[in-house]
Structure 1
């Protein structure tokens, strides 16, 4: 995710904070000043937000470390204004494993709340009316901080258990349904419920709080995307690269010029190219590098091609290619058979393959 500040690494997992997080800080300060606060109160509220997001990091680590037990890695955790996102290499497909990974995050918040409760004198708060309790939470003090964090962690656990993708509750709901209905049907039902809830949040956002509109969009897009991804994976299950790869492709040489490349692009539908030298793969020339250097027709391919590339075997499953695409942000791979290049595969061809194989799902 572009524009993120690296904060550190825990158990091999990068922790980052996205630049949009600054909007939340600005909003918190703005609200405090609008209510008649001062610099001290604004800084206190910012500190509370930062401590709260430490709990969010622990929540995401709960997901990541549980997934690690099932052999699934997590590349990074990114903090956003609406929460945190753990970028797992993939979600477990076994219902029991997905259930544990999904529950691990909210469970962390529950544990934090239980630990905090040991130091909170609840009896003294029971007699407070709501306005007095709100005033207490807004005061500077250790006890008010503990109570704020206790309430916040309970709310985080409850909010994340809303049964809508990409919330944890949506994954819990899908996992429970998968035991009986299978992953595809379970995802379809859970995704549908998520989109219904997203519409409800949108309506509430229009009437009461614009922030709910952002959450509604997040849920709606996440639910739709999850459903489409699982359907695609189901369609591609058991199919290998050989069935969907490109075989009629143009091989270029490192000594070819950018002018020759541009002419080839204009005369065909190809946009990425495998570069061969002595019948061996020397690299790949991606569309982005062609566009970047098209203004310099005399430059040689060897000066702009990418040499650190992944090649894939014809027998590899297409679902594995999709994992590479998601994790590496690359959509074009040379294909080999017995160490000889035989073609290439890209996201465009995979999408066409899905279209031709998806008739039963219409």
Structure 2
């Protein structure tokens, strides 16, 4: 994710913190200053938030490591002010596997809360309200215990993209199938998101941000599943473009700009005698112009490491790959030779046509 700081890797998974996380830290420091807190209390408040997000990382690792058991890798875990996001390669379509992955995260928070319950001496007699007025070393672990309980409860809300939404979808999928289960879970999630936004206007503006996040997360999840359903059973051959412009590696940047201006292509496959040798994007061309390489051959600036699909590959898998990598296009090969190109726009048009024919 852009504008993120790499904190390292845990179990081979990259841990990133988004720059907006600094806003949260700044807000905490500002709030403590407004309350007249001393430096010790301010630093303790910051440490408390950092500890919460350590619990969030462990929560996301619960998802990621369980997914790994089912052959699903996780590229990264990103920390945002509203929580963490584990970027799983995909969500298994098997409802049992999705259920296990979904509950693994909250299960980690249950374990953390249980350990704290064992450590804390007097949870049976919770101290009075004045004990929690301001964070102190004495109440630090108590507050962390309650936060982990709240994380379990919050994530149990049946709304995408939270764990509860995925648990609901998995349970419904056992009887209704993945597509219908996703529709129901997503619609419920969007209703809850609207409720969050409404309540946020009266009580806590932070709920508005959560509501927006949930609404679009539910919408996106539903659209992706619907699209994959339309693509099921179709091959890349059916969705690829066969009318396209290519470049030879010896053509210059000037030649490529001419083709860019005369046609509708923004990105090109570079091929020689039917063999793909690279790809070239519009941004690479613009950068070459800025660097005064207009007479250079495109072989000097093209991307040489190119992933390609075969005409017999599943169109749904190509769609998933394009969504994951955000690549502008992929070459399509038949018997090792260039037969077409495929991109997200063309697959979306394929889906649009199939959707119209279905009605």
Task: Using structure 2 for the length normalisation, give the TM-score.
Answer: 0.96
What's 1:122 paired with? Answer: 122
Structure 2 SS opposite 1:271: coil
Distance, in Å, in 1 between the alignment partners of 2:124 and 2:171 is 41
What's 2:355 paired with? Answer: 358
What's 2:15 paired with? Answer: 15
Larger displacement relative to structure 2 (195-204 or 274-283): 274-283
1:279 is displaced (CA, Å) by: 3.2
Structure 2 SS opposite 1:152: helix
**Paired residues of 2:322 and 2:343 also in contact (CA < 8 A):** no
1:294 is displaced (CA, Å) by: 4.1
Matches within 5 A, 1:32-111: 32-111=32-111
1:148 is displaced (CA, Å) by: 1.2
1:56 is displaced (CA, Å) by: 0.4
What's 2:136 paired with? Answer: 139
1:8 is displaced (CA, Å) by: 1.4
* 1:176 partnered with 2:174: no
Matches within 5 A, 1:312-323: 312-323=309-320
1:293 is displaced (CA, Å) by: 2.7
Deviation per residue, 1:46-92 (Å, 9 max, x gap): 11111111100000000000000000000110111110000000011
1:278 is displaced (CA, Å) by: 3.9
1:357 is displaced (CA, Å) by: 0.7
Distance, in Å, in 2 between the alignment partners of 1:235 and 1:292 is 38
* 1:327 partnered with 2:324: yes
Deviation per residue, 1:226-250 (Å, 9 max, x gap): 0100000000011110001111111
1:121 is displaced (CA, Å) by: 2.2
Task: Using structure 1 for the length normalisation, give the TM-score.
Answer: 0.95
1:155 is displaced (CA, Å) by: 0.6
* 1:164 partnered with 2:159: yes
Larger displacement relative to structure 2 (346-355 or 288-297): 288-297
Distance, in Å, in 1 between the alignment partners of 2:225 and 2:273 is 41
Distance, in Å, in 2 between the alignment partners of 1:220 and 1:205 is 14
* 1:304 partnered with 2:305: no
Distance, in Å, in 2 between the alignment partners of 1:322 and 1:155 is 37
Distance, in Å, in 1 between the alignment partners of 2:44 and 2:128 is 24
Cα RMSD of the aligned pairs, angstroms, is 1.5
* 1:242 partnered with 2:247: no
1:145 is displaced (CA, Å) by: 1.8
Task: Give unmatched runs, 5+ long, in structure 1.
Answer: none
Structure 2 SS opposite 1:15: strand
Task: Give unmatched runs, 5+ long, in structure 2.
Answer: none
**Paired residues of 1:262 and 1:294 also in contact (CA < 8 A):** no
Aligned length: 357
1:300 is displaced (CA, Å) by: 2.0
Distance, in Å, in 1 between the alignment partners of 2:309 and 2:125 is 63
Deviation per residue, 1:263-305 (Å, 9 max, x gap): 2122211111111124321101112212323454323211111
